[in-house]
Structure 1
């Protein structure tokens, strides 16, 4: 789920409590709310800088298993490495108190953890700081590069799919699905393939009657609120459609990028990290795929299959028209065609709408800056001949007859052309052709139930927003737990009965007391501090073994930057102290 969706599940009081966390001192001083702080780069950097060692380690561990959906506590705590269970729990509680990680309970009582999926990319460079990927070398072979054919961005593919649906009708069969002829047209309109989506992790319901690409496009249309599934048809929400077309193209693509990550990369942690590194790259600049591969290894994460995940990400991004790929000799190159992190940039590049050019023969030359609402109307009244940097539509007798049969008129088409061309007059030849083509059709026109959606020429209010929404399928049956239940004392049973000296002072205890302290540390999954050969070290006990009148303890000994498993007997240390993380200090 996204930040906005989590926010709606939280009370105002809880969000104010989040902002009282030491991690948000700077953000709170600037007057930011929780929803703003978790997505604000300066506040994120401050929060990571404020984290103690345990909190930072817990958040990195969570990133190791992140896949948009919740993570089981067992899986999560298995990644704690050198930290004791109590230390890991303490770090987790600090993150929970700042609203960075949320605890959920499934129906049978299993505890799960999740974080807002739109935070993943923004926090990644601060949790995994590695050098900037260098631009591709401009060597002579680069001038002979072979580029793969560029595909249209997903927003443009959606437009083509919607246009096909409008032309073919959105009525449903008796089984409540689109006719096969219609779905075949929708498949042709989309560039992204079934295999691209399935490799990325697209999951359909077992009863879904459509192929993956069509299913994906229809679900995305429903999530945007453009199409509403009713009993006998898919109904157009024209106000939402007009609002979507009125957004800047870079905004639309960045919005779709975030939605697709959350929807597709379910339980795909390696692909999330690949995408996170890719979003650090400057748009429009060529980079080496081999250099990206080297950087992935620097993340030092467990159990990741980088090559397969990297290739799946690049195929998906190319299928959505968001990335171009090329070859320079044996070297694979890549570059963004969109600005994937635009949603979180305070300053956005302005977009200037460009008028279309009208040719007397009916050809319409459409520049890249042509607004989508104009492109939508052109799809409905003309035939698309090419869709490249400069696209070409053509007005024909059949396209005009089809448009009029679906509710348009010659007058409305002429008004569209004049408006789209910036007020340029329509040539007499073209006007005459339009009039002739439409005369007979308008005379025979009958009311149609599947008339083309009519969009107002007035732009929707700027307040009409598109908040990121997830399907929430991965959270089915989950209940958000009260974050106030998470205090470290709840996980340290009988804390009040433990002698205070055990936690405050180094002492040389009798062997029987040493055994009691270690038994308490084991019950808490807590560390102890030991004084060995005049050095103080941390020790995380794992098990006690008794033999005759003696005993030994096995666990992890932490020294400076190293840790190793050892077996100790009580005479091997001079003094000891029990550590209750968050209560008696932190190792």
Structure 2
């Protein structure tokens, strides 16, 4: 779940309480707004300075062990406690601090259990704040020796441009659904061809199509991105997908760098979530400088350091290599990253576009604008170049031709070259297609002149006029053919005053063209005249199944069921996407109320006050009671021995009572937390430490 989805569920008061958290006290009041606070790298860095060690421990565990996925709350608390040497109640208090600042959230299952999670869209900000990148690109001499590696499933064309062409191909091929609410295979194949991303590269990320609407993984990706950007919608009354011009125009108006940067972020949030190492790889790579070579081994080593707080760090580290390689392959396939090697053959990578995290501090305005004022960004030369129109009707589109122009070219022309400069060609067929979609000759002419900045060459202008004049003059019309055995029967039917108005026209001596909608009336009238019709519809060649199959094909494109992913609203809580999500948190109740410290400690009011206030010596039986209470509450004990005072976290109690018992747990306050077994005579004084209650 992302912060914008959470914002829709939260009340204004909830958001105000988040902003009032002490963690955000360094942010000027006028800029203290949730969710911009939790998405701000500089605000996150400032919050970490004020965050308790317990809250940091929970946050590190969430980031390192669970990524952007959800975890059972108790499992998160336990893992954080074990990793940082905390008692369960101390880790719980840290989680409460994060809940109160709007950093960590929880949802409640139907049976009452809770799942905790970091919003997916701020995961990268907090990972990079907790674990700064610290990766250094190659120096100038080493970069001169770096060479790109061919054949690494890379592409020179960025994903955004291929998506544009894939969406255009989708609507040209037919955006209606079949009777089974699925995208026609022909349409899916057209999308897949234009997207040019191998299904294996996507499957390596653990991605799968969701539902039955799209079986092709690349086509599902293109649809999913289009829906998430708001550019593709679904018209249930027509049983087809539809293009949303307003959202598309906003997307097309973005500069080339900004558009690609947003798309990189969208893909990281939604398609790098199936495993924590994959999410971490995506977040860390976003912090690298664009256009500079980095050693893959350095990136792997930095990711391995994220496993340090984990008890099972060996297992986590072993998964990093595959996750990193999978995400690098995807970024290369999307046209955003290039793989290479240095002079010794060591693998290298570099961004070909600016990633979202490369200028976090400069772009962030939640704390101050000084960094932004001193930064000159990439892509400020994103000016669009004109379209070049050749006298033979070829249209030359260079790399910087705007996306609004490219989209229109897809509608009025055919692409004939995929080189650095794309070549589109006007033809009678392409102009006919454009006219069918509602474009006029004058509109096409104005677009071409505006995009090129020049009048049309005379030959192109004349050809456009001729093609537009001929477009739509000849067309297929769908009708049912009524066939008679003899011309005499046909003449009799044509003379019938009730039947004749139901015919569209007579075709030759034996046939009539009739409208499908009039079939029932025609059948009834023919039966009354003594000409009962066959129950089966036959084809002209005598194939009884031909028309039946054509009717099935035609009917499959309208009245299709609403896709399951969208039955509860596009982009909202009910939108499951066309790519399967690991866990749909939107389906659960958001927990805005959290148990407070006094609720964690049953019978606190019946506990002797002296147990909580000061160190004292107690009888062995009382010491056992205090240990049992600490185990029940998951709280530490403070013990005084001859060597000094230490915090002790009890883990288990053994023995029957009296003085014949022992407690095993973690002793804090030494150089390293250590597991020990203590008997009651091994300490002199003790007290209970109750987080949030003890003085």
| Corresponding residue to 1:516 among 625, 630, 655 | 625
**Unaligned stretches of 5+ in structure 1?**
450-465
Q: Secondary structure at the match of 1:35?
A: coil
Q: Is the 8 A contact 2:273 2:279 kept in 1?
A: no
C-alpha change, 1:183 and 1:136, in structure 2 (3 Å) is farther
Summarize deviations over 1:430-455 as a string: whole Å, max 9, x none.
32333344332254479999xxxxxx
State TM-score, norm by structure 2. Answer: 0.76
What is the CA-CA distance between 1:478 and the residue it aligns to? 1.4
1:157 partnered with 2:157: no
What is the CA-CA distance between 1:501 and the residue it aligns to? 2.3
C-alpha change, 1:251 and 1:566, in structure 2 (3 Å) is same
1:360 partnered with 2:391: yes
Partner of 2:275: 268
Q: Is the 8 A contact 1:107 1:477 kept in 2?
A: no
What is the CA-CA distance between 1:28 and the residue it aligns to? 5.3
Partner of 2:688: 578
1:492 partnered with 2:601: yes
What is the CA-CA distance between 1:417 and the residue it aligns to? 1.2
CA separation in 1, counterparts of 2:459 and 2:466?
11
| Corresponding residue to 1:248 among 221, 232, 255 | 255
CA separation in 1, counterparts of 2:143 and 2:188?
46
Q: Is the 8 A contact 1:151 1:319 kept in 2?
A: no
1:529 partnered with 2:638: yes
1:98 partnered with 2:101: yes
CA separation in 2, counterparts of 1:71 and 1:172?
37
Aligned pairs for 1:299-310 (under 5 A) are 299=306, 300=308, 301=310, 302=313, 303-304=315-316, 305-310=319-324
What is the CA-CA distance between 1:534 and the residue it aligns to? 3.2
Q: Is the 8 A contact 2:181 2:213 kept in 1?
A: no
Partner of 1:382: 413
Partner of 2:666: 556
Partner of 1:414: 445
Q: Is the 8 A contact 1:541 1:553 kept in 2?
A: yes
Q: Is the 8 A contact 2:67 2:280 kept in 1?
A: no
| Corresponding residue to 1:312 among 322, 326, 330 | 326
What is the CA-CA distance between 1:386 and the residue it aligns to? 3.3
CA separation in 2, counterparts of 1:135 and 1:491?
53
CA separation in 2, counterparts of 1:447 and 1:2?
49
Summarize deviations over 1:322-355 as a string: whole Å, max 9, x none.
2122233522221122333179635665432221
State TM-score, norm by structure 1. Answer: 0.89
| Corresponding residue to 1:236 among 237, 243, 249 | 243
1:290 partnered with 2:297: yes
CA separation in 2, counterparts of 1:139 and 1:67?
34
Partner of 1:9: 9
What is the CA-CA distance between 1:68 and the residue it aligns to? 3.5
Summarize deviations over 1:528-587 as a string: whole Å, max 9, x none.
1222233222111011111574211101112344111110011212222211112225xx
Q: Secondary structure at the match of 1:107?
A: coil
Q: Is the 8 A contact 1:409 1:442 kept in 2?
A: no
Q: Secondary structure at the match of 1:33?
A: coil
1:281 partnered with 2:288: yes
Q: Secondary structure at the match of 1:83?
A: coil
Q: Secondary structure at the match of 1:385?
A: strand
Aligned pairs for 1:62-461 (under 5 A) are 62-80=62-80, 81=82, 82-129=85-132, 131-135=134-138, 138-139=141-142, 142=145, 144-147=147-150, 148=152, 149-229=154-234, 230=236, 231-299=238-306, 300=308, 301=310, 302=313, 303-304=315-316, 305-328=319-342, 329-341=344-356, 345-346=363-364, 349-350=379-380, 351-421=382-452, 423-441=453-471, 443-444=473-474
What is the CA-CA distance between 1:307 and the residue it aligns to? 0.5
Q: Is the 8 A contact 1:532 1:575 kept in 2?
A: yes
Q: Secondary structure at the match of 1:65?
A: helix
C-alpha change, 1:55 and 1:548, in structure 2 (3 Å) is closer
Question: For structure 1, which segment, 546-555 or 278-287, has the greater mean C-alpha deviation from structure 2 after superposition?
Answer: 546-555
Question: For structure 1, which segment, 345-354 or 148-157, has the greater mean C-alpha deviation from structure 2 after superposition?
Answer: 345-354
CA separation in 2, counterparts of 1:116 and 1:106?
18
What is the CA-CA distance between 1:183 and the residue it aligns to? 1.6
Summarize deviations over 1:124-161 as a string: whole Å, max 9, x none.
12212352333366338825543454242222121011
Q: Is the 8 A contact 1:171 1:233 kept in 2?
A: yes
Q: Secondary structure at the match of 2:31?
A: coil
What is the CA-CA distance between 1:122 and the residue it aligns to? 0.8
Q: Is the 8 A contact 1:259 1:470 kept in 2?
A: no
Q: Is the 8 A contact 1:404 1:442 kept in 2?
A: yes
- RMSD across aligned positions (CA): 2.8
Q: Is the 8 A contact 2:648 2:666 kept in 1?
A: yes
Q: Is the 8 A contact 2:88 2:634 kept in 1?
A: yes
CA separation in 1, counterparts of 2:350 and 2:216?
29
CA separation in 2, counterparts of 1:194 and 1:481?
38
**Unaligned stretches of 5+ in structure 2?**
365-371, 479-553, 555-570
* Residue-pair matches, total: 567
Q: Is the 8 A contact 1:506 1:575 kept in 2?
A: yes
Summarize deviations over 1:191-220 as a string: whole Å, max 9, x none.
222222222122333534421111222222
CA separation in 2, counterparts of 1:376 and 1:433?
22
CA separation in 1, counterparts of 2:149 and 2:202?
25
CA separation in 1, counterparts of 2:43 and 2:58?
19
Q: Is the 8 A contact 1:283 1:337 kept in 2?
A: yes
Q: Secondary structure at the match of 1:36?
A: coil
Q: Secondary structure at the match of 2:66?
A: coil
Q: Is the 8 A contact 1:69 1:474 kept in 2?
A: no
CA separation in 1, counterparts of 2:302 and 2:143?
25
